[in-house]
Structure 1
Amino acid sequence: MLVFRKARIFAHLLRGMFVVATRFPSASASVRLELNRAWSIEMLRLCGMTLVVHNDQARLDSGALVVGNHISWIDIYVVNAWRPTPFVAKAEVRQWPVVGWLAQQLGAVFIQREKRGDAKRIMHELSERLTQGELMCVFPEGTTTSGASVLPFHANLFQAAVSAECPVQPICLFYEDASGRQSTAPAYIDDLTLADTLNAMLRGAPLTAHLYVCDALAPGDDRRVLARDAQAAVELAMQRVRGGSKVAAAQDGQDDALVEVLTQERP
């Protein structure tokens, strides 16, 4: 059964390559976004996930630096199922079979973290794209975590938002199992491989991916202040999402009203 489910995921990745290669060249920007979003929604479904978006009315749709906590490679598909957004990824991702090619074709920017000068190059590219009205997504913790807490946000890439004089939109990612408790199954940490995390997710399904959209931070002139405020916003959002889980809601007798379900299991 697990082999069959992984085969369907691999087939979906190949379908993504076909769509990008054949339909993207002649498609409008809006059609590309919708194709990306629909493909990402299906990817989550095949991985046994439902996406729930909180506070979506705060969403900015252009000219903003999106920043959030980072748990797994599946985070990218969660963000794209919500609203397709090019992202900054470590250089190794470009070498991943299929996934790396798709990321490159969808506008990802690859950074060599071991080279200090590369951050400056990336910052300038991000600034130019933000100035042109694009959205860009960055995971400023600089690594993945279990999702239990938020690591300090590195301020370097926030300089792109300062230079472009654009707002910063923090988002919080949180994964939940069928019992309503936080799940670490998607966590791509320590010595785990991509295959290890995929197996863990499939075995742990059904899962819910929560994405909390924080209120945007106004353009600022100090990248360290922006990084600090963005981290604080994500930490507060994590508390809210964790408090709104099925377990907490049952204990408190409260429901989370600011929720939009974007993906559901099909028969």
Structure 2
Amino acid sequence: MILRSLFFIFIFVPVMIVGIPIQWVITRLGLYWNFLPFVFHTLGRIFLGMKVKVIGTPSTGKPTLIVSNHISWTDIIAIGSQADVTFVAKSEIRNWFFVGFMGSLQRTLYVDRKRRSDAARASKEMGQRMASGGAVVLFAEGQSDLGTHVLPFRSALIGAAQHAMLEAGAGEVMIQPLTIAYTRLQGLPVGRTDRSFIAWIKSKSIKQNIVEILTGGTREVTLAFGTPRPLGAGANRKTVAKDAENEVRRMLVALNRGTPLPEAAAPAS
């Protein structure tokens, strides 16, 4: 904990003091530079004691919707330290102290899932972002879970994003499953009891969750990127969502058990 505190005071904080104003000016000018968010997530990963293993390759250079399971807010740190992506988050986070501000610096898209009109607006923004060649991460379960299983993927935003991407002029749109698995804690396999100290569950406040993560030791997380597939205009959104959900579930089970991954999740050559 002492080393983490020193790292935070003498490295993390000085970088933020210099980097945040620069990123703020860049975003105010309507521009985007991923280097500073990447540095922030990388330093955050080190500070939180996370070791990230990547299997497969995130799709780049093409409009891509990455659909993933969701376990903890640390998922964002892990993904952001490895891939140039934009995140979709629930609207409440925008009003969180500091977190909402930092999210805006990375062009996070906020959506109020309780309002259909807002979902349409967010989907349009997602479409525009992907039409420019970017990748957007959607936590398709709609909430976080312990990490032992995958909740049903919600197809509404996938379908809306599909329509918006094509409307925005994206010629070839890809959808790529992503599995997040926390596999080891302090070098030992993660058991079910340990997962309550990693996942952000409803019975705990964010403050309690942060304290447990900061005092819980080194954790190893695997990001397994599946095979990107074309998301055509005529594709059935429910079928697409179900196929992605099934692939993420297969990969999660394999990663949690330490067994060989399904073929679709094998490392890219």
Q: TM-score, normalised by structure 2?
A: 0.81
What is the CA–CA distance in structure 2 between the aligned matches of 1:47 and 1:86, rounded to whole Å? 21
Instruction: Give the 5 Å matches for 1:125-140.
Output: 125-140=125-140
Q: CA deviation at 1:16?
A: 3.1
Q: Take 1:66 and 1:108, find their aligned partners in 2: how far apart are those partners?
A: 14
Residue 206 of structure 2: aligned partner: 194
SS at match of 1:82: coil
- CA drift of 1:116 comes to 2.7
Of 167, 178, 181, the residue aligned with 1:171 is: 178
1:222 maps to which of 230, 236, 246: 236
Structure 2 contact 176–229 (Cα < 8 Å) conserved: yes
Report the residue type matching 1:175 in the other structure: Y
1:104-127 superposed Cα distances (whole Å, 9 cap, x missing partner) = 121111111222321122112212
Q: Distance in 1 between matches of 2:229 and 2:163?
A: 11
C-alpha separation between the residues in 2 aligned to 1:257 and 1:109? 30
Q: Which amino acid aligns with 1:172?
A: T
Compute the RMSD of aligned alpha carbons: 3.1
CA–CA distance in structure 2, aligned partners of residues 11 and 119 of structure 1: 39
Identical-residue share of aligned pairs (%): 24
Residue matched to 1:52: 53
Residue 2 of structure 1 and its aligned partner are, at CA, apart by 7.3
SS in 1 for 2:78: helix
**8 Å Cα contact 2:124-2:165 kept in structure 1:** no
2:162 maps to 1:153: no
Match of 1:81 in 2: 81
1:253 aligns with none
Distance 1:226 1:122 in 2: 20
- Which amino acid counterpart does residue 37 of structure 1 have in structure 2? F
Structure 1 pair 4/169, CA: closer, same or farther in 2 (3 Å)?
closer
Q: For structure 2, which runs of at least 5 residues remain unmatched after alignment? A: 167-172
Aligned pairs for 1:206-245 within 5 A: 206-220=218-232, 221-244=235-258
Deviations 1:130-189 (A, max 9, x none): 222221111111111111100000001112135425111110111121212254222111
Q: Secondary structure at the match of 1:225?
A: helix
What is the alpha-carbon distance in structure 1 between the residues aligned to residue 23 and residue 39 of structure 2?
14
Aligned 8 A contact 1:50 1:208 in 2: yes
* Alpha-carbon shift at residue 17 of structure 1 (Å): 6.1
The CA distance in 1 between the partners of 2:20 and 2:72, in whole Å, is 23
| Distance change (3 Å), C-alpha of 1:230 and 1:30 | farther
C-alpha deviation, 1:26, in angstroms: 5.5
User: Equivalents in 2 of 1:125, 1:180: separation in Å?
Assistant: 40
Is the CA contact 1:140–1:154 (under 8 Å) kept in the aligned structure 2?
A: yes
Q: Structure 2 matches for 1:80-99, cutoff 5 A?
A: 80-99=80-99
Alignment CA distance shift 1:9-1:205 (3 Å): farther
Whether the 8 Å contact between 1:48 and 1:207 is mirrored in structure 2 is yes
Q: Which runs of 5+ in 1 are unaligned?
A: 250-255, 260-267
Does the residue aligned with 1:87 lie in a helix, a strand or coil?
Answer: strand
